[in-house]
Amino acid sequence: MVMLMNLTIRHMMGTVVTNYDVRFISIVATLMGIFTYLCILLNGMNRCEQCYRESEKIIKLIDDLIINKKTGNEERDSLKDLKCLIITRPVKFKAMNFYRLDYPCFVSVASVIITYTIILLQSLNRQERSRAGCGAEQKAEGTKRRLAERYGAAGRVDKD
């Protein structure tokens, strides 16, 4: 996703050179790819969060059954064991056992992507400014040279 976003930014800034002008098509295709990956990621996070909420609902239902319903000792012990098992071994979706997949994880990844995209845009903008600055200096030197040739070697301008 980061690679696609960087490619889009490079196309927008004009740093990627192609033999033909397909800037609009490539930007739209890249944005559609980013949108597709974002939908897949959000759908996966949503399913993980639904599973987490379901386990919390199960614990609440077990508490309700133990407290409010008349159950036998054997059933009550089984429900307490099930509740203890759910609490001590919660359902967790992890990515390669490095981090848990949930909404805060998604927000932190999105903030990192946005931060590095802004840094990339700033660096590209500085490069464009430095190129434009060099061009302006060359134009100013050319203008000075032409004026010097026209009005003398010292560059004096005679007033009428």
Predicted pLDDT of residue 32: 80
Residues linked to residue 99 through DSSP beta bridges, in sequence order: 95
> Does residue 131 form part of some domain?
no
The first and second tokens of residue 24, run together, are 């609009």
How many angstroms separate the CA atoms of 108 and 88, rounded? 27
- pLDDT truncated to tens, each residue of the chain (160 aa)? 566 667 667 766 667 666 666 566 666 777 787 788 888 888 888 888 898 899 999 999 999 998 888 888 899 999 999 999 999 988 888 888 888 878 888 888 888 888 887 887 788 777 777 766 665 566 667 777 777 777 765 545 555 4
Number of residues assigned to the chain: 160
2-13 and 103-151 helices cross at what angle (nearest 10)?
20
Predicted pLDDT of residue 48: 85
Whole-prediction pTM:
0.51
> Does residue 100 form part of some domain?
yes
- Count Cα atoms within 13 angstroms, Cβ side, for 115: 6
For residue 31, give the DSSP letter: H
Predicted pLDDT of residue 36: 85
For residue 110, the enclosing domain spans: 2-115
Residues linked to residue 100 through DSSP beta bridges, in sequence order: 94
- CB neighbour list of residue 33: distance below 8 Å, 6 or more residues apart: 4
> Does residue 43 form part of some domain?
yes
**E strand spans, 4-109:** 94-95, 99-100
Q: What total of structural domains would you count in the chain? A: 1
